A and B are shown apart, each in its own frame.
Chain A
Amino acid sequence: MHIFEFIRPTDPAAAIAAAAQSKTAQQGADVRFMGGGTTLIDLMKLNVETPDRVLDINRLPLDKIEATPDGGLKIGATVRNSDLANHAKVQKDYLVLSQAILNGASAQIRNMATVGGNLLQRTRCVYFRDTAMSCNKREPGSGCPAITGHNRTLAILGASEHCVATNPSDMCVAMAALEATIHVQGPKGSRAIPFGDFHLLPGDTPHRETVLEPGDLITHVTLPPPVVGSKQLYLKLRDRASYEFALVSAAVVLTIASGNITRARVALGGLGTKPWRSPDAERALTGKTANEATFRQAAEAALRGAKPQSENGFKIELAKRCLAYALRTAAAS
């Protein structure tokens, strides 16, 4: 592991000031915030992340889950995944989020991992994690061996000729479907970023994964007020039953009145270069009868633009079945 300076900032302002000296934003940067460390320390051991400074933000006052005045929920950036998933209000009103988190990682890692860190979770692409290999995300311009190599678990939506890495987060898929907002404090003040605008497609800059700028500190995430009577489900399909990343996953939030779908939110995981909200699937559901034909049409719509890599054509059919099954199960719940 590279040598680094360990700093425990006294307050968010000190953390931001220290991080603002970084040449680039959080991921891969020379100054890094440390939350649970479950991704960052792993990648530091592999010399994939080599920060000069590590800012321990675990003792900053960002660890609360609170109701917002509008009836939504404010979740601090250092709230641990297990605390969020087991929070009574999350289990009651945002079930899809609880399910997504509990489907991710292990009990130990959920006790460590933070909300802010999960938003910045890095890909599991084997070439990214191996410094002996080229990787445009790790070393811009060096090439992408995954495109002609081992890409079974990689992306079929949102990929570019420079990068096909999948976003591995489960939590983010649920937050996309719940239309969360990410709140950031930076050297220029604070701002609120709609979830769908936070992660970037790889394009020709795959090393840039989010809109964060140097010094930006994620302080909290807000969820809008719960949709009364909504039916929610997170379904994750993977190579083993637990403690494994998704091949494909689906987060659905449906409102059904008299057999008709009046509101639908759909996001997919394990197959996109970012957490993949599907407005096409939502349009195919909204205003339609909640039946098998509608669910299949939504699944077709969600995968319409999918482009398989050499090893993962199976993901297209798997994702369609995953989404249709999730919609069917949620509707019947």
Chain B
Amino acid sequence: MRDLTRREFLEKSLKTGGALGIAASGFSGQKSEAAETVMRATDGASELAITLRINGKDHQLRIDPRTTLLDCIRETVALTGTKKGCDHGQCGACTVHVNGRRVNSCLSLAVMHDGAEITTIEGLGTPDRLHPMQAAFVARDGYQCGYCTSGQIMSAVALLKEPCGPDDTAVKELMSGNICRCGAYANIVAAIQQVRKSA
């Protein structure tokens, strides 16, 4: 058997763990059509049933209400392109789109988004067909270590639809929620401006 890649290993182990988690936990959540959801999680093992539409695919999940949207995406759904940096809304590495708007997934609970449409970096493009913003980041060398890059790109794609002045200063202001410790800022701004000008 060939060696698993790191991504394949993560996907397999997370999916297995997730399935065991559901089997082992007592599900005590009640969910009514009236949209009142009561979740009693007093035993620490209770889970709540939610549906998230991630990158166009419905995921029916049972999760602890304490699970952040970030941990849900990475650990439960095994989409690890979204990164955990500070886990306190200070770095932007966890940026995803919820119903078309960019948010810090670390500062939100997954249960708050039952029924929501979520887009992660995996939903933007593929290695063969990059999203124009992904292609621009490659062309302009908008990264070094790459850890912040998926958050930077998710922010940059959202920015295209937001009120933003034409100059670099306006782009920098609207990108200030995404920290890059390598300091690739100049090339990130260049990549975003390349996409904006070609649009």
- In Å, the complex CA distance between A54 and B163 comes to 33
Other-chain residue from A5, A36, A58, A111 in contact with B42 (beta carbon distance below 8 A): A5
Report whether A1 and B66 are in contact in the complex, using a CB–CB cutoff of 8 Å. Answer: yes
Known A6-B48, A45-B88; contact A38-B41, beta-carbon cutoff 8 A:
no
A-contact bits for B63-76, CB 8 A (1 contact / 0 none): 00110100000000
Other-chain residue from B35, B68, B107, B175 in contact with A109 (beta carbon distance below 8 A): B107
- Size of the A side of the interface (Cβ < 8 Å), in residues, is 33
The residue in B41, B87, B88 that gathers the most chain A C-beta atoms within 10 A of its C-beta is B88
B97 to chain A minimum Cβ distance, whole angstroms, is: 10
- In Å, the complex CA distance between A82 and B177 comes to 14
The residue in A41, A45, A107, A242 that gathers the most chain B C-beta atoms within 10 A of its C-beta is A107
Report whether A38 and B89 are in contact in the complex, using a CB–CB cutoff of 8 Å. Answer: yes
- Closest residue on chain A to residue B101 by CB atoms: A111
B130 to chain A minimum Cβ distance, whole angstroms, is: 23
A291 to chain B minimum Cβ distance, whole angstroms, is: 31
CB of B195 within 8 Å of the partner chain: no
CB of B134 within 8 Å of the partner chain: no
B-contact bits for A1-30, CB 8 A (1 contact / 0 none): 101111111100010000000000000000
- Closest residue on chain B to residue A14 by CB atoms: B36
- Closest residue on chain B to residue A56 by CB atoms: B112
Tier of interface size on chain B: 35 or more
CB of B3 within 8 Å of the partner chain: no
Known A4-B66, A243-B177; contact A34-B112, beta-carbon cutoff 8 A:
yes
CB of A105 within 8 Å of the partner chain: yes
- In Å, the complex CA distance between A42 and B90 comes to 10
Report whether B102 and A41 are in contact in the complex, using a CB–CB cutoff of 8 Å. Answer: no
- In Å, the complex CA distance between A242 and B173 comes to 6
- Closest residue on chain B to residue A52 by CB atoms: B42
Report whether A10 and B34 are in contact in the complex, using a CB–CB cutoff of 8 Å. Answer: yes
CB of B15 within 8 Å of the partner chain: no
Other-chain residue from B87, B103, B175, B176 in contact with A112 (beta carbon distance below 8 A): B103
Report whether B108 and A45 are in contact in the complex, using a CB–CB cutoff of 8 Å. Answer: no
CB of A86 within 8 Å of the partner chain: yes
- Closest residue on chain A to residue B32 by CB atoms: A10
Which chain A residues lie closer than 8 Å to B68 at the CB level?
A: 41
Known A42-B88, A105-B177, A243-B176; contact A37-B38, beta-carbon cutoff 8 A:
no
B-contact bits for A104-120, CB 8 A (1 contact / 0 none): 01111101100000000
5-42 of chain B: CB within 8 A of chain A: 34-42
Which chain B residues lie closer than 8 Å to A191 at the CB level?
A: none
- Closest residue on chain A to residue B154 by CB atoms: A108
Which chain B residues lie closer than 8 Å to A111 at the CB level?
A: 101-103
Known A38-B107, A108-B104; contact A3-B44, beta-carbon cutoff 8 A:
yes
Report whether B109 and A37 are in contact in the complex, using a CB–CB cutoff of 8 Å. Answer: yes
B-contact bits for A235-276, CB 8 A (1 contact / 0 none): 000000111000000000000000000000000000000000
Report whether B104 and A38 are in contact in the complex, using a CB–CB cutoff of 8 Å. Answer: yes
Give the B-binding residues of A (Cβ under 8 A). Answer: 1, 3-10, 14, 34, 36-38, 41-42, 45, 54, 56, 58-59, 82, 86, 105-109, 111-112, 241-243
**What are 14 A-to-B residue pairs whose CB atoms are below 8 Å?**
A5-B40, A5-B42, A6-B37, A6-B39, A7-B36, A8-B36, A8-B37, A36-B107, A106-B89, A106-B92, A106-B177, A107-B155, A111-B101, A241-B176
